Structure 1
């Protein structure tokens, strides 16, 4: 069966798609889609090939867009994406995820979670998280109070991890009826010394799952880089060897649970750009015990751009491709697991998210 590789971008001015065959030598750019609304996250359903895009803002309101023909045509719905009257209105959809049973989840701002069982046509709130007993301790991070990371279990649709800034990681194993904070071991450097490890209040930036090992999670936090081998019950620091403990995105290797890709930035109050203004992707092949910087083909001077929390991904080809998008609208790619890099696109709007999809031609 002939396949096409799609690199799906969410940007400040709509969704874009780059398309290639599995050789990944030439990519064609299409877009912008979604009427140039701000699009925070674009994902593809590997079972059906359907593409979903979540976004909006305080002016447009929240919506999830949908394309069943590879991005040629789009529809969108916001049905059910609302809090009860009297609560702060939802500004936008920030994250999307497909569960093992085909249902969809949408994380929103102000932080909350919604589920769709009809392919994004309508949405219902996940009350167990939205009304969590710790909610009065959730506070906005620098980008707002947002649910930006969703990690579904690959085979059990009742299990899901969610990352909220600034609240932390939460986990359900009963389809969202109840949620457990899972933040033990992650620091809050901005808290007083005796409050560095609270139950909630951590500024998680991204969470990714190791392939074939659902209990192994990697987390980039505002205050460090971590790994958990027990589904987030306990987190262990793996930041030694990195140029900074601060960054936003992480991307798991599609086949090797010990390999992870990371883009550290120079610090939260130092500009939030590439350390030394020299671009690099850092890779570990031993679960974070050691790190190597991969720079070949990336700009090594004047790299004052950032990479946002969902703007990095891998593809599922045998020799994994790695992709990241920048705040300056450039998309970089490696077709050899980070050894060499090329720029696939420039001068796009600010890139909020990068995901990939393999679909039938």
Structure 2
């Protein structure tokens, strides 16, 4: 049976799906779905074919949508996506992940919820907000959001989360207790003597290397980092990049040493690709060196940014790489980043890009 490749997009005006075959030369686009709600993260489950979309805002409220027919129809639920009475209300869902321990949602204001019924209902994982650092969590420019959510692929008790701006936290007991894992990451916005705090860093994106659960990569407001011990210690790997600032990161589906980034020109300099020349940067040696991949990308007057969840890979060989821009373009590479094509234009701001490969 021919393989089908879906690129799942969360945008400020609903979810979209770009579709191709395994050759990835011609693409069709469908959407918007989810009644044009703001969608922060759209993911797929290859085993069942179900697509999930998390989003909302203060006006709509939070919800997780799902489609069991590849986008032809959708339902949604917000049951249980709420903090106790008197607490600041949940306004939106920012991240989704399926793991051995269940289905998880990260929300704004930053917190974690678990579903035992595939997203039909949710229960607050209260241990994270009970961490002693919680009174000191402060919103980044995008709000106080739990945007990175990584369950361990085999151990249902372990989860890593990234919160802007609080840092990386890890649980080894299914969410009852949490530890901050930020040693070695900077907070340049603090006074010099306080730039390596236990928590309070503005992590932008957190991803796990394939086949190596203890290897994590982190794009931070203040640098790019790798950890080989599950986040206990972080090592800077930003040397060779044009900027220490950016939002997204994506790992190769099979090679734990290959990572993709889209650096921006800086937090105070406009937050667009450096010099208006688009490039995806790739390392094949776990951050020891970096290469700019530009073939097919605009090399003048490109003043777009790429948000923290808007870069992804597929699991084909060679791997496909995809990113969406704040100005609504979707770029794709079918050869691991060596060459690029724009496969969609004029979309709403693209908040997330994920892939789903179906047989």
TM-score tier after normalising by the smaller chain length: over 0.9
Per-residue CA deviations over 1:89-124 (Å, capped at 9, x if unaligned) read 1110000000124x2100000000000010100000
Partner of 2:316: 317
Q: Deviations over 1:107-158 (max 9, x none)?
A: 0000000000101000000011022221011111111100000011111221
**Which 5+ residue runs of structure 1 have no aligned equivalent?**
none
Corresponding position of 1:63: 63
Residue pair 2:253, 2:313 contacting (<8 A) in 1 also: yes
The reply to whether residue 42 of structure 1 matches residue 51 of structure 2 is: no
Per-residue displacement from partner, 1:143-200 (whole Å, max 9, x unpaired)? 1100000011111221110000000000111111111110000000011111111111
Aligned twin of 2:159: 160
CA contact (8 A) 2:61 2:91 kept: yes
Structure 2 SS opposite 1:16: strand
Inter-partner Cα distance in structure 2 for 1:83 and 1:175: 19
Does 2:28 match 1:28? yes
Instruction: Find the aligned partners of 1:247 and 1:333 in 2 and give their Cα distance.
Output: 19
Match of 1:26, SS?
A: coil
| Secondary structure of the corresponding residue to residue 218 of structure 2 | strand
- Over the residues paired in the alignment, what is the CA RMSD in angstroms? 0.7
What CA distance in whole angstroms lies between the structure 2 residues aligned with 1:321 and 1:76? 30
Match of 2:92 in 1: 92
Aligned to 1:120: 119
- Name 1:143's counterpart in structure 2: 142
Query: 1:46 & 1:206 partners in 2: Cα distance?
Result: 23
Q: Work out the CA distance in 2 between the residues paired with 1:256 and 1:118.
A: 33
Q: TM-score, normalised by structure 2?
A: 0.99
Q: Which runs of 4+ in 1 moved over 3 A?
A: none
Q: Name which of structure 1's ranges 129-138 and 73-82 shifts more when overlaid on structure 2.
A: 129-138
* Local SS of the residue matching 1:79: coil
* C-alpha separation in 2, matches of 1:200 and 1:128: 16
**If the length of structure 1 is used for normalisation, what is the TM-score?**
0.98
Q: Does residue 225 of structure 2 align to residue 209 of structure 1?
A: no
Query: What is aligned with 2:338?
Result: 339
User: CA separation in 2, counterparts of 1:124 and 1:359?
Assistant: 30
Give the aligned partner of residue 82 of structure 1. 82
Structure 2 counterpart of 1:72 = 72
| Matched-pair contact (CA < 8 Å) for 2:152–2:159 | yes
CA distance in 1, matches of 2:289, 2:258: 11
Answering whether residue 247 of structure 2 is matched by residue 264 of structure 1, we say no
1:293 alignment counterpart? 292
Q: CA deviation at 1:3?
A: 2.2
Q: How far, CA to CA, are the matches of 2:98 and 2:259 in structure 1? A: 22
Residues 253-297 of structure 1: per-residue CA shift (max 9 Å, x gap)? 001011000000000010000100000000000000000000000
SS of alignment partner, residue 66 of structure 1: strand
Give the CA deviation at 1:9: 0.1
Shift of 1:346: 0.2
Give the secondary structure class of the aligned counterpart of 2:322.
strand
Residue 110 of structure 1 corresponds to which residue in structure 2?
109
State the partner residue of 2:351. 352
**In structure 2, C-alpha distance between the alignment counterparts of 1:133 and 1:359, rounded to whole Å:** 43
- Map of 1:5 onto structure 2: 5
Shift of 1:333: 0.6
SS of match in other structure, 1:127:
coil
